[in-house]
């Protein structure tokens, strides 16, 4: 709450800064919608549509910087190259591949930090990844801000110990990453068959 109270005094600039910094992280963080809804709970005079635009812009900007950093500084093995190339080649063949994949990750609980780390590893250059992500976040944030009065309070009461809430969110994210790593993407994308393999997280 200290963070929200401090940055909440900056009006829309507060959530812009906090969400931008959060989305620079390649590791798991609390859900963006929860952070944005908390700012709205402190100042419900904010316009929901404007706040959703601010949130989407901050999240997309942060992921853009994360992707650029990964592209420049991340070293990865031959296994990483071959596995990620499968996804990259598939997206490059589809006209709206990057738009759709980014949109899906933005509007669902899937860990989009992993998506942009993957984008960085394959050095993806399509502007579609940012367009899809921005519109996905805009939709997700607008919906969550609209229903936040009925969702946020029960959520925070359920996890009054903020550490428990963060650990739960991180735990769900780790499960999602393991499932993501367990999918044989070559079989799924080329043969349209779902096959699970022993997860090798270093492949990503």
Give yes or no for a contact between 38 and 8, defined as CB atoms under 8 angstroms apart.
no
What pTM was computed for the model? Answer: 0.73
Domain boundaries along the sequence of the chain:
2-203
Mean pLDDT of the chain: 77
Tokens found for residue 115: 């998506």
pLDDT at site 64: 95
pLDDT digits (tens, 9 = 90+) for 120-170: 877 888 899 999 999 999 999 999 888 876 655 544 544 445 555 556 666
* d(C-alpha 10, C-alpha 14), whole Å: 5
110 or 86: which carries more pLDDT confidence?
110
Say which residue the tokens 């999602």 belong to: 176
pLDDT at 190: 74
How far is the C-alpha of 153 from the C-alpha of 121, rounded, in Å? 39
Q: Which residues contact 67 (CB under 8 A, 6 or more apart)?
A: 116, 117, 119, 120, 124, 129
Give the chain's end-to-end CA distance (angstroms, integer): 34
The set of residues, in sequence order, having a beta carbon less than 8 Å from that of 118 and lying 6+ positions away, is: 84, 87, 204
């Amino acid at each position: 709450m200290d963070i929200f109270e401090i940055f909440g005094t900056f009006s829309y600039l507060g959530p812009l800064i906090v969400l931008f910094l959060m989305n620079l992280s390649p590791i798991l963080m609390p859900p963006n919608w929860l952070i944005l809804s908390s700012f709205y709970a402190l100042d419900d005079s904010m316009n929901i549509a404007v706040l959703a635009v601010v949130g989407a812009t901050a999240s997309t900007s942060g992921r853009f910087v994360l992707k650029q950093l990964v592209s420049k500084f991340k070293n990865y093995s031959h296994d990483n190259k071959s596995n990620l190339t499968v996804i990259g080649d598939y997206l490059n063949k589809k006209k709206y591949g990057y738009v759709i994949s980014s949109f899906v990750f933005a509007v669902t609980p899937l860990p989009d930090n992993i998506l942009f780390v993957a984008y960085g590893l394959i050095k993806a250059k399509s502007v579609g990844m940012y367009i899809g992500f921005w519109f996905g976040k805009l939709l997700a944030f607008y919906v969550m801000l609209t229903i936040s009065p009925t969702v946020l309070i029960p959520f925070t009461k359920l996890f009054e110990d903020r550490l428990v809430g963060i650990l739960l969110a991180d735990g769900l994210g780790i499960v999602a990453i393991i499932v993501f790593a367990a999918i044989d993407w070559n079989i799924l994308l080329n043969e349209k068959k779902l096959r699970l393999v022993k997860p090798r997280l270093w492949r990503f």
